[in-house]
Amino acid sequence: MMNRLNIIKPDDWHVHLREGKMLNIVSKFSTRINNRCIVMPNLTIPITNTELAKKYKSQILSSIQEESFIPLIPCYLTDNLDLKDFRDGLINGIFIGAKLYPLNSTTNSDYGVSNIEKIFPALEILEEHNKNLLIHGEKVAEIIDIFDREKYFIDDELTIIRKKFPKLNIVLEHVSSKYGADFVIENNNIAGTITPHHMLITKKDVFGENEIDPNLFCMPVVKEEKDLIALRKYACSGNSKFFLGTDSAPHPDTDKEPSKSIKPGIFSSPCSIELYAEIFEQENSLQNLEKFSSINGPKFYNLSINKDKLTLIKENWKLDKFTVNNEIKIKNFFGGEEIKWKVVLQE
Ligand code: NCD
Ligand code: ZN
C-alpha cells in the first residue's frame, strides 16, 4: 500500500478565485498546492480585454504570498470582442486562450455568447496563434433538460466548431457526462478537465428525496452513476486528454440559501488534490495521479512541466465545515468530513 506520494507540483487548469474580499480569502487554497492556475474570467465585470486582464492579474498577485505562483487568464468571449486587442493579448501572453460561456449558462455568463457564429472571427485568431479555446459546454434552452445540456452543446454547437476549425485546440471544461468524455476521446485536438466533485457525487446527492443541497449545486450539474464511473475511468487511466481542473467556485453562504435563487458552484480548493488522491487510490491508479495533475495539462497548453514537487501522505484529518472570516462564510466541499490524504507543506 502506498502511504506517501511525491508528485510534480500540480496546476489547476480551471478555478474561480473571484475578486476583492473573496479573492483574499480563497487564493491561498489554490497557491498552497499549484504552481499555475487558469483563473476564470467570469467576474461581475468579465475580463474581456487586455486592460482588465492585466489589472486582474495584479490583483491576484497582490492577494498571495507565493512569489512563484503564475495566474493565467483566458479572455471572456462576447458577441462583440475587440479583435485587435484580443490578438495582441494572445501574442503578448496576457491571455492564455479564450473562454466560451454560452449566454446565461452559469454564474456571470450574462455577457456570454448568444450564437457561436458571433465568435468565429475570434476562433480564427485562436487557431492561427495556436491558442486554446476553453469551453463551458452546455446548451441552454427552455426545452432542454438541465441534465442534457452538455450532450446538446456537443451535438449542436461543438461539432460545428470542430468542423469549421479542425486545427483549433479545445478544452471541454469540467466534463460531466460519459457522453462528453467519450466525445473527447473520439475526436482530435480536444482535451477535457475533470473536477473532483463530478467523480464523487451524483444527482442523488444534490437533489435528494425532496430538497436540493445548495452547496452541491453546480454547473454542469453532476449526473448519474454511469457518468461518474466513466469520468473516474478516464481520469485515472492516465490518458493525456484528461487533466486537473477543480472548478472550485466559492459563493458566500448568503448566495446558497434555498429560499433564493441558488448560485451554482462548489468550493473544493481546500481539499482538492487530497480528494483527487483518494479517488485515484480507490481506482488503484495512484501511479497515474501525476500525469493527470501535473503533466497532461501543461502538454496540452504547450507549457513547461513544473520543476517543484508536492508531497502527500496517507493520514486522516478533518476539514473545517466552512471557510470563514468576519464577513464571508463559504461551505467547504467535504467540510466537516474526514479526508484521507494530507499535503505535507514543509519537509
Ligand atoms: C462557476 C461559478 O460560480 O463561477 N459555477 C459553477 O457551478 N461551476 C461557473 C462555471 O464554471 O460554470
Ligand atoms: Zn468554472
Residue 200: what are its φ and ψ, rounded to 5°?
A: -120, -30
**Whose CA is closest to atom 4 on ligand 1?**
107
- Per-block mean pLDDT, blocks of 10 residues, the chain (347 long): 93 98 97 98 97 98 93 97 98 98 90 95 98 98 96 98 97 98 97 98 91 95 98 98 98 91 96 98 98 98 97 98 94 98 84
* pLDDT recorded at residue 347: 54
This prediction has a pTM of 0.97
> Rounded CA gap, 230 and 47, in Å?
33
> Rounded CA gap, 172 and 183, in Å?
10
Closest to 48 (Cα-Cα) out of 116, 119, 106, 117 = 119
**Residue percentage of the chain with pLDDT more than 70:** 99
Q: Which ligand is nearest to the CA of 197?
A: 1
Task: Report H helices in the chain.
Answer: 20-31, 50-62, 83-91, 120-128, 149-153, 159-164, 178-186, 203-207, 225-237, 272-282, 289-290, 296-300
Question: In the β-sheet with 11-15, what is the strand arrangement from edge to edge?
Answer: 11-15, 36-39, 70-72
The answer to whether the CB of 102 is under 6 A from ligand 1 is: no
* pLDDT recorded at residue 105: 87
* pLDDT recorded at residue 346: 64
Nearest-atom number in ligand 1 for the CA of 174 is 11
Domains of the chain: 4-344 (3.20.20.140)
**C-alpha cell at position 295:** 503533466
The answer to whether the CB of 173 is under 6 A from ligand 1 is: no
CA 138 – ligand 1 centroid, Å: 12
Q: What is the DSSP string of 41-53?
A: --SSS---SHHHH
Please confirm, yes or no, whether 156 is among the known catalytic residues.
no
* pLDDT recorded at residue 255: 96
Closest to 244 (Cα-Cα) out of 138, 190, 173 = 173
* pLDDT recorded at residue 259: 78
